[in-house]
Amino acid sequence: MAPLTRGDTRCDRRRRLRVRWASLSTGPGRDRGMSTAEYAVGTIAACAFAALLFKVVTSSEVQQMISGLINRALSVAG
> pLDDT digit of tens for each residue in the chain (78 aa)?
555 566 667 788 888 888 887 777 665 555 566 678 888 999 999 999 999 999 999 999 999 999 999 999 998 866
Query: pTM score, two decimals?
Result: 0.45
Q: How many helices (H) and strands (E) does the chain have?
A: 3, 0
Domain that holds residue 64: 10-77
Residue 3 lies in a domain: no
**51 domain residue, yes or no:** yes
Q: List the one residue out of 41, 4, 1 whose CA is nearest residue 24.
A: 1
Q: How far apart are CA 36 and CA 31, in angstroms?
A: 13
Residue 48 counted as domain residue: yes
